[in-house]
Structure 1
Amino acid sequence: MAARRAFRFSAMAEGSNVGPETLDELHQEVRRLAAAYPQLPLAPLLGDLVEIQDLSFRFLEHGHVRPGQARELYLLSAITSGMLAKASHDLGDPRSAMTQARTAYVCADNADHHAMRAWVRGLQSLIAYWDGRHQEASKYAALGISQVAGVTGTSAVWLSCLQARAGAALGDVAAVRESLAEAERARDAASPDDLDEFGGIMTFPVPRQLYYAADATAWLPDGPEAQQQAEAAVTAYRQAEPEEWAFGDQAGAHTDLALARIHAGSLDGVDEAMRPVLDLSAGQRINGIVASVRQVHTALRDPRWLTAPEARTTREEIEAFTAAPVAALPR
């Protein structure tokens, strides 16, 4: 708390001019929050995100900034607004999420940052997908893909994976295959850019790519392929480097594995796949995880499983889990 107070004082003490110390501190804070976002519950991050966005906006609105500083501030504002869009999405508020995402895009545009524009389109695709607006999710992914010419970082991989997932939800099997193949080509061509250097939510590592592939193939009728993809994603997160680990995407990989096993006609291994998800604390029960868990509940309501004791037990646990999402916690 003392460090936060000191940072705010030093930022204000430099007056209307944005000094190098303040700009460097803002940059370090955004980097810290980007790295922490996929790994920590939302509650300890939300206040800092709001404060950093507010400071960045104040400097842009009232400060005396040179053109190079303005571009940097707009980029930092874009990233922070993007994280707050993800936070609203995680809290189950897609309307606020899209508002923050549009602000992030305006900031990316003012920074004239090509990769950041594409990244925000990916974020909009993600928000629309989990809100059940799959056609819109596909549209945003396509908009992002149209902007990745010359982008070397992993956001290009993310956009192709988003397109694959939206295509799967729409039942376009050919689009899924082509988009996943394009994601592989983008991975082979990728080299880290300045967004990847922020780490965390701003980069798209291999385990996350495998999870998206599992998410896409979970919609397809080929059960064995879905299981293979989900098992690969679960293994990748089990073996991931610390900086590549993300509790939300790991949970998604586990629910995909449970779904694949159910759709293949067996309850064997379903509880094993779901256990790490159902053991998550209430503070980690973000919107995407809750939605994925509900998909498992729906699958277990198939007439084949209605009287199966293990299916009944899992359904009851899922109902208890989804009754206390992070959005229900006091903030």
Structure 2
Amino acid sequence: MAAWRAMRFASVAEGSNVGSETLDNLYDEVARISTAYPREPLNRVLGDLIEAQDVAFRLLEGRQRPRQTAELYLLSGVVSLMLAKASHDLGDPRAAMRQARTAYICADNADHDGLRLRVRAQQSLMAYWAGWATEAARYADLGRELASAVAGSAGVWMLSQSARTYASLGDSERARADLALAATKRDSLADDELDQMDGLMRFADCRYLYYCAEARIWIPGAEDEAEHAALQAIAAYDEAAAAGSPDWAYGDDAGARSDLALVRAAKGELDGVAEALRPVLDLPPDKRVAGVIASAMRVHGALREPRYHGSRQATRVQQEIEAYGRTPAAALSSGQ
């Protein structure tokens, strides 16, 4: 609270135009939140996100030089994008889309293709997890042209997100084509200025591997490929966690492990299901965001197949998943 009070005072003290110190302070704070968000429980970063958006919007209501206005719109867009993810993580897709639309308006005002592309990828992601597959495909298509033009990791994100979206719609050919394009884009990757914020703004290699597994989950006959990709993603996340890397993200790590459990359920390997899902079910309530719970519930659905009827082991896993989903992170953040 004291730090935010100091930032507000600095912005006033520098005069009617935004000074370099104020912009530097805001940039540093936005980058810190971007790095912290995937690693920390949501209730630890949500208040700071709301404060950052408030400060950025208040500054935009004043007068700045054109270059400073563009920088403020960029930072406002990044914060609004992170708040879109926060609403998504709290299980409110409609509020998430409102924040994302604000982020896109900011990206337009900043004339920043890297942010435009990240917003489209996030919109597609949120629609995908809300069960709006055709809407997810629409947002993926809106970002497709930018994916080849933008240098940063957002292009890999957009193509990978498109792959799992089209795979979920049954278009395996399109999904495989998008995965191939994402791999090519990844091989020639050059960071942009938003990648340098790390965390949410950078589509890390481990996240790419997770999306590869997720896409193949939907492709008939690709169970072995999906299992291999999920194991690669889990190994990459384990390595990132051990190194204290900003690439580690508990939500996507849990998603990769849930995908591994889902593949093993499809292959009839119940012991493997329980083993893969154990770290997910051990997550504390403040890390049980909507996407993580949705991933676990897909495993629950797979265990309802006729082959598992009467299996005590399958029933125990289902009961654990049900108990797990009764205390989501949203319940702990309702006071924010």
TM-score by length of 2: 0.96
Instruction: Tell me which of 307, 328, 331 is aligned to 1:328.
Output: 331
Distance in structure 2 (CA, Å) of the matches to 1:15 and 1:95: 38
Maintained 8 Å contact 1:114/1:148: no
SS of the aligned residue for 1:244 comes to coil
Instruction: Tell me which of 312, 315, 319 is aligned to 1:309.
Output: 312
> How far 1:144 sits from its partner (Å)?
0.9
Q: Deviations over 1:236-263 (max 9, x none)?
A: 1111251110000000000000000010
Give the partner amino acid of 2:55: L
Distance in structure 2 (CA, Å) of the matches to 1:37 and 1:152: 24
Distance in structure 2 (CA, Å) of the matches to 1:227 and 1:187: 21
> How far 1:209 sits from its partner (Å)?
0.3
SS of the aligned residue for 1:313 comes to helix
- Give the aligned CA root-mean-square deviation in angstroms: 1.1
Q: Deviations over 1:35-54 (max 9, x none)?
A: 11111111011111111111
Q: Deviations over 1:109-164 (max 9, x none)?
A: 00011111111110110111011011111111121121234311100000010010
Give the partner amino acid of 1:68: R
Give the partner amino acid of 2:35: A
Distance in structure 2 (CA, Å) of the matches to 1:36 and 1:224: 34
* 2:129 pairs with 1:126: no
The aligned residue for residue 100 of structure 1 is: 99
Maintained 8 Å contact 1:138/1:162: no
Consecutive unaligned residues in structure 1, runs of 5 or more: none
SS of the aligned residue for 2:143 comes to helix
Maintained 8 Å contact 2:90/2:330: yes
Consecutive unaligned residues in structure 2, runs of 5 or more: none
> How far 1:69 sits from its partner (Å)?
0.2
TM-score by length of 1: 0.97
Q: Deviations over 1:4-38 (max 9, x none)?
A: 32222222333432111111100100000111111
The aligned residue for residue 34 of structure 2 is: 34
> How far 1:224 sits from its partner (Å)?
1.5
SS of the aligned residue for 2:149 comes to coil
Q: Deviations over 1:247-301 (max 9, x none)?
A: 0000000000000001012212111101110011111111110111110101111
Maintained 8 Å contact 1:158/1:209: yes
Q: Deviations over 1:41-93 (max 9, x none)?
A: 110111111111111111112x1100000010000000000000000000011
The aligned residue for residue 269 of structure 1 is: 272
Identity %: 53
Of stretches 230-239 and 208-217 in structure 1, the one that deviates more from structure 2 is 230-239
Maintained 8 Å contact 1:164/1:180: yes
Give the partner amino acid of 1:290: I
Distance in structure 2 (CA, Å) of the matches to 1:4 and 1:71: 22
Distance in structure 2 (CA, Å) of the matches to 1:112 and 1:36: 26
Distance in structure 2 (CA, Å) of the matches to 1:47 and 1:14: 25
Distance in structure 1 (CA, Å) of the matches to 2:2 and 2:87: 28
The aligned residue for residue 90 of structure 2 is: 91
Instruction: Tell me which of 276, 293, 298 is aligned to 1:295.
Output: 298
User: Between Structure 1 and Structure 2, how many residues are aligned?
Assistant: 330
* 2:214 pairs with 1:211: no
Give the partner amino acid of 1:128: A
Maintained 8 Å contact 1:252/1:289: yes
Q: How does 1:88-237 map to 2 (within 5 A)?
A: 88-222=87-221, 223-237=223-237
Of stretches 261-270 and 72-81 in structure 1, the one that deviates more from structure 2 is 261-270
The aligned residue for residue 57 of structure 1 is: 57
Distance in structure 2 (CA, Å) of the matches to 1:82 and 1:22: 21
Distance in structure 1 (CA, Å) of the matches to 2:278 and 2:191: 35
Maintained 8 Å contact 2:4/2:51: no
* 2:328 pairs with 1:319: no
